[in-house]
Structure 1
Amino acid sequence: MHTDGYGDGVKGIRIRPEQEGLRTSLFDLEAEIMEVVWGQRWEEFAVADVHEWLEKSREIAYTTVMTTVSRLANKELLTRRKDGRRYLYQPAMSRSDFIESMTREVLRSLPPVGQETAVALLVERVAEADHGELDRLEALIQARRRRGDR
């Protein structure tokens, strides 16, 4: 895990609040590639696999995909190992772990008054939640209490 100010296990990530979804913390092609990797549930893949998948919907240069995949490895969203003359990659974390990490980073980056506002907005959101969502939140709270964390 890194303590470089960018989040748990992810480095070089900046939050872009004007964007939506994964694009709040990844550039468009990075987000698209990670969605492909997570969506395909690849345990291991080569750049060619991602390139082939992206080429189904548009024309894109292999070198562009290779550079972006390499950037994702540098940001520690992917791990890689040498396999002959190529690299094989694996996702370093699940989509949900990535979202949790980014959410933690956003909350950590807020000044104390911003953290209070975030909690107030969360409470407001919970008040609007359906019973299923309330049950999930209650289970999270109970699990946290059982662990004895503050």
Structure 2
Amino acid sequence: MKGIRLRPEKTGLRAALFDLEADIMEVVWTEQWSSFTVADVQRALERSRQIAYTTVMTTVGRLHDKGLLSRSRDGKRYLYRPRMSRGEFAESMVRELLGSLSGLGHEQALSLLVEQVAESDADELRLLEELIRKRKRELGG
């Protein structure tokens, strides 16, 4: 994905996307649209707020430029499609973050990950342990 930078002061989708971009992707994923138009997004967003068509059009275009949406011509308009699910997006963000930490050295990056998980709660730490055991079994170790 192009042009996505993590914003550590934000959480969830907003850590990787601007607020309106995150709102639009939430709508796309929640509605489970396989294809949609800018007008579809505007109608969905207008359930909770007033928003100009041109604002939605510009932001959907940015999401396309960032690689989250694909588009094809349908007469005078574009039909957009999500290029990934919410889970795939989250996974790609985590991979990007972990890749950016590799300059720290693997031990320090892993230590930070374990520390963060441990701060969440004990169940998350147990889940991490299980995932490690599972991966070791898959690798034959």
Q: For this structure pair, what is the TM-score category when the shorter chain's length is used for normalisation?
A: 0.7 to 0.9
Name 1:102's counterpart in structure 2.
Answer: 93
Matches within 5 A, 1:114-129: 115-124=106-115, 125-126=117-118, 128-129=121-122
1:134 and 2:126 aligned = yes
Aligned mate of 1:81, from 72, 86, 94: 72
User: Any conservation in 2 of the 1:16–1:24 contact (CA below 8 Å)?
Assistant: yes
**Structure 1: unaligned runs, 5 residues or longer:** 1-9
TM-score normalised according to structure 2 size: 0.84
1:59 and 2:58 aligned = no
C-alpha root-mean-square deviation of aligned residues, in Å?
2.5
Count residues in correspondence.
138
User: Any conservation in 2 of the 1:126–1:134 contact (CA below 8 Å)?
Assistant: no
TM-score normalised according to structure 1 size: 0.79
* Residues 12 and 144 (structure 1), Cα distance of their counterparts in 2 relative to 1, 3 Å cut: farther
- The answer to which of 102-111 and 61-70 deviates more is 102-111
- Indicate the structure whose relative CO is greater, using CA pairs within 8 Å and at least 6 residues apart: 1
Higher helix share: 2
Name 2:26's counterpart in structure 1.
Answer: 35
Name 1:14's counterpart in structure 2.
Answer: 5
Distance in 2 (CA, whole Å) between partners of 1:46 and 1:52 is 10
**Structure 2: unaligned runs, 5 residues or longer:** none
Amino acid at match of 1:98: F
1:47 and 2:64 aligned = no
Aligned-partner SS, 1:26:
coil
**Identity rate of aligned residues, in percent?**
57
Amino acid at match of 1:138: E
